[in-house]
Copies of this chain bind each other. A is one copy, B any other.
Amino acid sequence: MRFGVLGTGSVGRAIGGKLVEVGHEVKMGSRSAGNENAVAWAAEAGDAASEGSFADAAAFGEVVVNATAGQRSLEALEAAGAENLAGKVLVDIGNAIDPNERPPALIIPGNDSLGEQIQRAFPEARVVKTLNTVNNSVMVDPRGLPGSHNVFVCGNDEEAKAEVAAMLESFGWAGEEIIDLGDISSARGTEQYVGLWVRLMGALGTAEFNIRITPND
């Protein structure tokens, strides 16, 4: 399958690399084609990897992944173009935080979320929020942590959530570890959890952790 990955940071490179590894073609998009990170990534990831503008990547993908920094995601998706997102699964991994606060602070009110903002701005996209609750290393290598732990999917389109769950399983997540939290408004829950995540990272001294819901059966 063809994926467009928007964003050339650590999340975009980790997701893009994993998607190539499990057999997909991936075009990484950035503000302008020829981004240094994206060119280096594509050279390393091999023949199935390429790069271009946000619009190039979104047009290329049958599925589009938003891996841009949350506070700039709406702008990046505007550049990608509503026509290149319409009807497609749009996997949103963004977290809208103010990186100038120490530790980073949530910038969206409690009754809204980036996932919902994206769904409202691009009503024809099939937005699924996922993976924003873990570090990029855990996103693509969940078995690198001991035992069972959880990841969430949030979205209005059941079929889109099923497609994303299949992608997560291809990354190594077990089916029973994937919790469907409900419609896209439940993205609030996963985005607000990041407020705890940054504190846990500080207390534990590592970003290599996750949570397990107990019990979950």
Contacts and interface: CB of A to CB of B under 8 A. Distances in A.
A212 interface: yes
Interface stretch (A7-15, A55-63, A84-92, A142-150): A142-150
A200 B150 CA distance: 12
Given A110-B105, A199-B181, A211-B211, A204 B192 contact: no
Interface stretch (A27-35, A36-44, A162-170, A182-190): A182-190
A217 to B, nearest CB: 9
24 contacts: A105-B109, A105-B110, A110-B195, A145-B215, A146-B214, A181-B200, A181-B203, A186-B202, A189-B197, A189-B199, A190-B196, A190-B199, A191-B195, A192-B192, A192-B195, A193-B196, A204-B213, A204-B216, A209-B214, A209-B215, A209-B216, A210-B214, A211-B212, A212-B214
